C-alpha cells in the first residue's frame, strides 16, 4: 500500500532556514563593504593623482586694479607650462588662443547680484616656420619672439588692460572682482576640438582669482603735479676785455691852485688868463 506524502516532508527545518538566511545576509554585507572600499580607493586615487582627470592648472599669482586717466586698469600674473602635445601642435602651425576673463559684481541683499562688468581679452600665439619666430597678437598689437619661453612670459603678464570706466561703478562702493585665464578650445580646428575633449593636456585653465576692490572716493580730485626736474644753472657768457683807456695828460701846475676853490671853473680860469694885466700891457709887435 502506497503511503501518502505529507507536506511537512518538503519543508526545511527551521534552523536550516535561519542558517541560509544568515549566510545570505553575511555575503551581502561583505559585498557592500568591498564595494564601498573600492569606491573610496578610487576617489582617493583621483584626488591624489592630478593626471587622472581635470585640466592642466594655470595658477593666478597676482591680480589688482589701478585707477588711471578716468578708467580702471587690470594687472594680473599667471604661471603655467605649455604641455608637450600643445607645443608640438604649435610648432606644426596650429595657433593657440588664450582668453583672460574679468568680472565685477556687487552683492545686493534685496535682489540678485549686480554685475556691471563682464569682459574678456583673447591672446593669439602662433609660430612662423619661415622666420622661426613665435608671434603674440592681442588686439592691434603683434610682437615677435625668438623663443617660446619669452612669448609665454609675455602672455602670462597682463598689464594696462582697461577693464571698465569710472561711470560703471560708484565711488566708495566695494565690489567682488574675478579674473582667470584659459585655453580657448572653441577656436581650434575641429579635429583638435574633438581630441581635446578626451585629452587632459589640451584642457588648460585656471581657477577664478577673487578679490575685493573698493572704488576710491576722490576720483574727481586732480592728480598731483609731477615734480619738474631742476633746471641747470645759467652761466653768463664771458664779455670781451675792454681796451685800456688812454691815460689823461698831466694837468698844468696852476691847475691844483685854480681848482682849489670849487667856485672857480675851467671857464673862469680861461677868461682870467686871457685878460691878465701882462697881456693887456704887452706891446703889439712891429710898433715903436
**In tens digits, what is the pLDDT along the chain, a chain of 288 residues?**
445 545 445 454 545 544 545 555 566 667 667 775 666 555 544 444 444 344 568 999 999 999 998 899 999 999 999 999 899 999 999 999 999 999 999 998 888 889 999 999 999 999 999 999 999 999 888 999 999 999 999 999 999 999 999 999 999 999 999 999 999 999 988 888 877 777 777 889 999 999 999 999 887 665 556 666 666 666 655 555 555 555 555 555 444 444 445 444 444 444 444 444 454 445 445 444
Between CA 134 and CA 143 the distance in angstroms is 8
**What is the secondary structure of 154-199 as a DSSP string?**
HHTEEEEEEEEEGGGS-TT-EEEEEEEEEE-GGGS-HHHHHHHHH-
Beta strands in the chain, from DSSP E residues, in sequence order: 56-68, 71-79, 96-106, 114-128, 133-138, 141-145, 157-165, 174-183, 204-206, 209-214
pLDDT at position 11: 52
pLDDT reported for residue 61: 94
Quick one: pLDDT at residue 190?
86
Q: For residue 85, with 0-12 CB atoms within 10 Å meaning exposed, 13-18 middle and 19 or more buried, which class applies?
A: middle
Measured CA to CA, the distance from residue 16 to residue 11 in angstroms comes to 10
- Say which residues have a Cβ less than 8 Å from residue 142's Cβ, sequence separation at least 6: 135, 136
pLDDT score at 200:
78
| Contact in structure between 142 and 115 (CB atoms under 8 Å) | no
Give pLDDT, residue 128: 93
Q: 3-state class of 14 per DSSP?
A: helix
Q: What is the pLDDT of residue 287?
A: 47
> What's the pTM?
0.59
Largest CA distance in the chain: 231
Domain-by-domain residue ranges, the chain? 62-214
Amino acid at each position: 500500500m502506497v503511503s501518502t506524502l505529507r507536506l511537512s516532508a518538503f519543508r526545511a527545518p527551521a534552523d536550516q532556514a535561519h542558517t541560509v538566511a544568515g549566510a545570505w545576509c553575511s555575503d551581502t554585507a561583505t559585498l557592500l563593504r568591498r564595494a564601498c572600499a573600492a569606491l573610496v580607493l578610487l576617489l582617493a586615487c583621483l584626488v591624489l593623482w592630478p593626471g587622472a582627470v581635470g585640466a592642466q592648472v594655470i595658477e593666478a599669482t597676482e591680480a589688482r586694479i589701478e585707477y588711471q586717466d578716468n578708467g580702471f586698469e587690470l594687472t594680473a600674473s599667471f604661471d603655467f607650462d605649455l604641455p608637450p602635445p600643445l607645443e608640438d601642435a604649435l610648432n606644426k602651425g596650429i595657433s593657440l588662443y588664450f582668453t583672460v576673463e574679468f568680472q565685477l559684481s556687487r552683492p545686493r541683499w534685496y535682489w540678485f547680484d549686480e554685475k556691471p562688468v563682464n569682459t574678456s581679452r583673447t591672446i593669439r600665439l602662433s609660430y612662423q616656420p619661415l622666420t622661426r619666430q613665435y608671434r603674440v597678437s592681442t588686439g592691434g598689437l603683434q610682437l615677435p619672439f625668438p623663443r617660446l619661453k619669452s612669448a609665454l612670459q609675455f602672455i602670462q603678464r597682463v598689464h594696462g588692460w582697461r577693464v571698465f570706466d569710472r561711470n560703471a561703478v560708484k565711488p566708495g562702493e566695494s565690489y567682488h572682482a574675478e579674473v582667470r585665464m584659459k585655453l580657448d578650445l572653441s577656436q581650434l580646428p575641429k579635429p583638435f576640438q574633438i581630441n581635446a575633449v578626451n585629452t587632459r593636456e589640451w584642457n588648460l585653465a585656471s581657477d577664478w582669482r577673487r578679490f575685493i576692490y573698493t572704488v576710491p572716493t576722490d576720483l574727481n580730485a586732480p592728480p598731483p603735479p609731477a615734480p619738474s626736474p631742476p633746471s641747470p644753472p645759467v652761466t653768463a657768457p664771458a664779455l670781451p676785455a675792454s681796451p685800456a683807456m688812454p691815460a689823461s695828460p698831466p694837468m698844468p701846475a696852476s691847475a691844483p691852485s685854480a681848482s682849489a676853490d670849487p667856485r672857480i671853473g675851467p671857464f673862469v680860469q680861461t677868461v682870467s688868463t686871457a685878460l691878465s694885466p701882462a697881456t693887456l700891457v704887452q706891446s703889439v709887435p712891429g710898433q715903436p
